[in-house]
Amino acid sequence: MRFIAGKEDLLNGIRIVERATVVKGLQPVLANVLIETLENNQIKLTATDFDLSITTVINAQVEEQGKFTLPARKLGDIISRLQDELVKIELNGSVATITCKKTKFDIIGISANEFPQVEENISEEDSIEIETKPFIKAIRQVVSAAANYETNNLLSGVVCEVNKNILEMAATDGNRLARVREVVKNNSADSEKTFEMLLSSRVLAELSKISLLTESENIKICKEVKKIVITIDRTKIITRLMQGQFPKYNQLIPQTFPKEAIMDKFNLISALERVAIMVNEKNSIVKFNFADNQLTLSGDSPEAGNSQDIIDIKYSGEPLTIAFNYKFVLEFLKIVESEEVAVKLNSSLSATVFAPCSDEDYIYLVMPVQLRG
């Protein structure tokens, strides 16, 4: 195997696929990226951890056909430090020689025969093709509300539905719920057909990062009973569909809110971050006291002390004190694009909805923490 490729093309390709590698696994080859030459002067890069597989194709000048695997992280470190010139990779036995101008590396790899087979072909009978930008935006707005993706339950997933030109995505970990609706261009062959899927939050988080390294106006998704292939530009993400019934999340959202506060997002972020300095990190509780166009935030830690901050808001309802895990609130505030946010309230023990004051159809429901005494 011997080829020449542009540094940035090669580095981008490695950065895309290395997200599916396993650094410390039982099979050392899973820490490697499979590099194989294709016809028409192209190189295909593949990585897998069995749950998630990623492939991408880059342009190259292929001088000799072949395939081999190299350590993804080490290869990425090498390529990133090279001059912005053409990079030559040549295989000699179990060693790949990387040269760029006067720089040379010899890196030991593993035979391609030890690399697991990644099956990326899938029926396109149940598929959809929609705009990339609103799809990625929706992922970023909901993915943080899913349960830790290391847990293997349904709450570590994100539910997605496309109905004609409306995309709805939601995630919940039982303590909070994020739901967003976006208008999208639906370029599917059968755009009237409703498309649904339940995917690991990890997969969607990785897709969001990969989208920054690709250029594609549309994203194509094909699914079968247990498998799904997401294609964005020349990159494919292959993973399994989560199986089971996701909670009927829309039923968890209160229909009415007798109290509502409007406030500047940046003022709230700053105040929360100041108050949080004195908060017990084990429970991350901050008290919110709404009264007379003011919001008083307070936190305390028995071993450290306490803190308080007051910001001006729009609120004319009855005084209300409610406590939240401040980290949940901050995550919403740092995702939402609107400069003003609404806090929709019922009682100190009822679910509270945080939402942008713009036209975005985005809500972030947070369950309050019951205060002792």
For residue range 352-364, list pLDDT tens digits in order: 999 999 978 999 9
Full-model pTM: 0.91
Pair (178, 245) in one structural domain:
yes
User: Residue 189 has what pLDDT?
Assistant: 81
Pair (131, 245) in one structural domain:
yes
Hey, is 20 helix, strand or coil? Answer: helix
User: Residue 26 has what pLDDT?
Assistant: 81
Pair (232, 271) in one structural domain:
no
Burial class (CB in 10 A: 0-12, 13-18, 19+), 194: exposed
User: Residue 373 has what pLDDT?
Assistant: 56
Pair (187, 274) in one structural domain:
no
Hey, is 6 helix, strand or coil? Answer: strand
Domain membership of residue 355 (yes or no) is yes
Domain membership of residue 240 (yes or no) is yes
Residue 310 has pLDDT above 90, yes or no: yes
Domain boundary among the residues 217, 234, 249 is at 249
Give the span between the Cα atoms of 358 and 335, in whole angstroms: 14
Domain boundary among the residues 232, 249, 266 is at 249
Pair (20, 60) in one structural domain:
yes
Pair (239, 140) in one structural domain:
yes
Angle between the 132-142 and 201-211 helix axes, to the nearest 10 degrees? 130
Domain membership of residue 205 (yes or no) is yes
Residue 151 has pLDDT above 70, yes or no: no
Residue 179 has pLDDT above 60, yes or no: yes
Domain count, the chain: 3
What percentage of the chain reaches a pLDDT higher than 70? Answer: 99
The domain of 152 spans 127-249
122-136 tens-digit pLDDT = 888 899 999 999 999
Residue 171 has pLDDT above 90, yes or no: yes
Residue 149 has pLDDT above 70, yes or no: no
What percentage of the chain reaches a pLDDT higher than 90? Answer: 87
Domain boundary among the residues 202, 226, 249 is at 249
Residue 61 has pLDDT above 70, yes or no: yes
Per-residue exposure over 148-174, b if at least 16 CB sit within 10 Å of its own CB, e if not? ebeeeebbbbbbbebeeeebbbbbbbe
Pair (239, 277) in one structural domain:
no
**Using an 8 Å Cβ cutoff, are 229 and 193 in contact?**
no
274-303 tens-digit pLDDT = 999 999 888 899 999 999 999 999 999 888
Domain membership of residue 227 (yes or no) is yes
108-117 tens-digit pLDDT = 999 999 999 9
**Helix residue ranges per DSSP H, 279-340:** 326-335
Pair (258, 242) in one structural domain:
no
Hey, is 101 helix, strand or coil? Answer: coil
Domain membership of residue 372 (yes or no) is no
Pair (233, 266) in one structural domain:
no
Can you give the CATH number for the domain in which 160 is found?
3.10.150.10
Residue 304 has pLDDT above 90, yes or no: no
Pair (139, 241) in one structural domain:
yes
User: Residue 3 has what pLDDT?
Assistant: 98
Domain membership of residue 119 (yes or no) is no
Angle at 110 between CA 34 and CA 119, to 5 degrees: 35
Mean pLDDT of 163-192: 93
Domain membership of residue 133 (yes or no) is yes
Give the span between the Cα atoms of 120 and 53, in whole angstroms: 9
**Using an 8 Å Cβ cutoff, are 309 and 289 in contact?**
no
Q: Tell me the residue type at 225.
A: V
Mean pLDDT of 222-244: 94
User: Residue 303 has what pLDDT?
Assistant: 83
Domain membership of residue 9 (yes or no) is yes
Residue 187 has pLDDT above 90, yes or no: no
**Using an 8 Å Cβ cutoff, are 114 and 151 in contact?**
no
Phi first, then psi: give them for residue 111, nearest 5 degrees: -55, 145
